[in-house]
């Protein structure tokens, strides 16, 4: 017997509720521009809207794209402290 659309939708709803109950941290190496890795991060944030973001370094322009999520850097730094051209692709 196959899975009906109603059963599939019920399962998706239950899985979304389970994900919402999780404490989630998403870790990214740096947030200095908006490229492929940052697009994947955005997709993960769609799945886990309660997630906090952690990165080694970040700049305000890129982190603004992830509002209202909290972005924490280790140690607290800004991209201004990096050598010129760091993170450029």
The domain ranges of the chain are 23-81
pTM equals 0.66
Per-residue pLDDT reduced to its tens digit, 28-83:
988 999 999 999 999 999 999 999 999 988 888 999 999 999 899 877 555 565 55
Torsions phi, psi for 29 (to 5 deg) = -65, -45
pLDDT (tens digit, 9 = 90+) per residue, 70-82? Answer: 899 877 555 565 5
**Torsion angle, CA of 75/76/78/81, rounded to 10 degrees?**
-50
E-strand spans in 1-89? 25-31, 52-58, 71-73
């Amino acid at each position: 017997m196959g899975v009906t659309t109603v059963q599939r939708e019920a399962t998706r709803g239950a899985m979304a509720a389970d994900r919402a109950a999780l404490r989630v941290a998403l870790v990214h190496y740096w947030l200095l521009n908006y490229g492929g890795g940052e697009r994947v991060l955005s997709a993960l944030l769609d799945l886990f809207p309660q997630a906090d973001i952690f990165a080694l370094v970040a700049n305000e322009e890129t982190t603004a794209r992830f509002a209202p999520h909290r972005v924490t850097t280790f140690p607290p730094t800004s991209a201004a402290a990096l050598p010129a051209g760091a993170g450029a692709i």
